[in-house]
Amino acid sequence: MARQRRPVGGARVAVLFVVVALLAAALPGLVAQDLAGDRLALLALRDALDRGRLLPWNTADPTPCKWRGVLCSNQTGQGVPQRVVELRLPGKRLIGTIPLGTVGNLTALQALSLRHNGITGGIPADIGNCDQLTVVNLTRNQFAGAVPEGFFSLAVLRNVDLSRNRLAGGVSQEFNRLKQLDTLFLDNNDFAGALPPGFYLPSLSRFNVSFNAQLTGPVPASLAGMPASAFQGTALCGGPLLACPNSPGGEKKKRLSRWAIVGIIAGAALVLLLIVGLVACLRRRQVASAASAGRPTETAAAANVRETTTPITVTLARTDRDAVKQSHAPPLAPVMISEGKKLVFLGSAPDRPYDLETLLRASAEVLGKGQHGTTYRATLDGGEPVLAVKRLREVHLSENEFRHRATALGALHHGNLTRLRAYFYSKEEKLLVYDFVGAGSLSALLHDGSLEGRARLDFTARARIALAAARGVAFIHQGGAKSSHGNLKSSNIVVTATRDGAYVSDYGIAQVTGAAAPPPRRGAGYHAPEVTDARSVPQSADVYSFGVVVLELLSGRAPQHALPEGADGVDLPRWVRSVVQEEWTSEVFDAAIANEPRVEGEMMRLLQLGIECTEQRPDRRPTMAEVEARIERIVEDTCRKDDFSSTDGSRSVSA
């Protein structure tokens, strides 16, 4: 009997092996665990999406690590196999549907970018196998259907951009499982229904569901702090939008009777009368005090000084919303005005005279908070003029030395520099007053908005902004004080309202303060590697900083340490060089400009200039005069092509 059972058992084992083999061949979703499996998955993906064989992959190479758009982990060591960790194929004219067993088999993948293609069908259901993914960018394709269940198992995801597709269904509460998510863009899709009331992602800082017309209902409380633009083009309500019709606030408004309205008006009138009476009483006391002291009363704001017998305290108003949104600065403490101190104007007096107290009582908004102080936008009564006031944090100069250096800065007059109009110096406070120009910083334009917002900043506009900034810095180097800026970065470049020009701000601030600053972080951010003291920055270091700004303009990526603490950044010069050396230069460019027609050559020329400006050795960098001349030629060539393609020929070369 035993001899008869053995063949049967052997047959069962053989059948089992056959079944396993058939399953392995029939189910493409079986997970690959080595580089050879990654290679097969990539080839299957190419066969499905790259029918024109546009991807220059050398399939004869046994390893995919040298293929363009593919990045592998470090070489094999300590028993850890080499794997594909990044797949970036933006704008490669990929068409078709992603099959199972391709992306889902790249189980060590950390970054996936297939933006700006024509991929259809659903997001592959087996994407959940890629449990190390931190970045997924599928924007500007034609993905359809719902977000698959496996997507919500990607626990370490930080940045997700699924915008500008055809995704449908509801915005699932399963997104709550992605606790590390910092960015979630779902805009310009076909999502419908209500946002989950329990929607909560503790690390989320950027969110957008705009232009999903069928999204309805209230904005969840956890998203109420997002800008209204994040919900534009939907039927959502509440939060930063108008109150929902059935909200308690809305019901109360509807219940207000005629007598309640009359009572509110009467109460407001009574409060106004009390304020007027109090002001009149205080004014009479001031006049009486001045008469008893034998001094004339103050009759006009044209005087540059408001003398006082003792120091007074004036609080500069601010808008809390803008302070939180733009700079996260604390409330401005009261400004102390010592006796006999005044606002000193540099050059001609303003068209509309104002004194120190008028300035300090102006309504103001926090624009930014930096190493040397906080900057406010101050609007005087009547709406004019609008000024930028920089309150210096720490100044280690005597009043004479401060006046000398401020006067030198005030003498710099150029169309691409912010104009220093006045200063105030006392023991307690030091202020610099500039003309307010532009519509916002270049940093905010590039990094505070969505891809759609950056798309309105085309390459021509970016080149014009670079030219305007180059002209301002070159003037500081040669035509002005023959000094250096010292702190050049995108947050100190103010873009015009038309987004085709710019002003350079905050030049010479380190010299005006004279305060010791912590040494800049070397080899990262905007600082040249040779700079050790922010008070003594050579012109060649300005060129390096400008080169970083150029790379930032082209890539849309922020340098290290450039954004608020906790935000991502990259060593731009090093990153750009590594990408270019791998002959994958197109990956450098911001997706918003990557596929612009006719200007590929100009984009490459500006990129090359940015690389030259960020050379490690200062003697290998061009001068700002050379930089200005080269960018001017790039802008001229770009605009000439735009003129050729435009219907009205109205474009201008001026920046």
Q: What is the DSSP secondary-structure string of 369-400?
A: EETTEEEEEEE-TTS--EEEEEEES---S-HH
Whether 231 contacts 250, CB under 8 Å: no
Distant-in-sequence, close-in-space partners of 142: CB < 8 Å, separation ≥ 6: 118, 119, 120, 165, 166
- Bridge partners, 168 (sequence order): 190
Summarize the annotated binding site as residue ranges.
390
- Residue given tokens 């014009």 in the structure block: 464
Please give the Cα distance from 125 to 131 (Å, whole number).
13
DSSP state of 544: H
Please enumerate, by residue number, every residue annotated as part of a binding site for ATP.
390
Q: Please, are residues 204 and 159 in contact by the beta-carbon 8 Å criterion?
A: no
Q: What pairs with residue 434 in β-bridges? A: 388, 420
Give yes or no for a contact between 391 and 332, defined as CB atoms under 8 angstroms apart: yes
Token pair recorded at residue 435:
């003309």
List alpha helices for 196-331, DSSP H.
Answer: 248-255, 258-292, 320-322
First to last CA, the chain: 97
Grouping H, G, I as helix, E, B as strand and the rest as coil, residue 8 is helix
Q: What residue ranges in 510-598 does DSSP mark as E strands? A: none
Where are any strands of DSSP class E within 393-530? 420-425, 430-435, 440-441, 493-495, 502-504
Is residue 266 classed as helix, strand or coil in its secondary structure?
helix
Tracing tokens 């910083």 back to the chain, one arrives at 441
Contact predicate 29/105, CB 8 Å: yes
Amino acid 93 reads R
Helix pair angle (600-613, 572-581), 10° resolution: 130
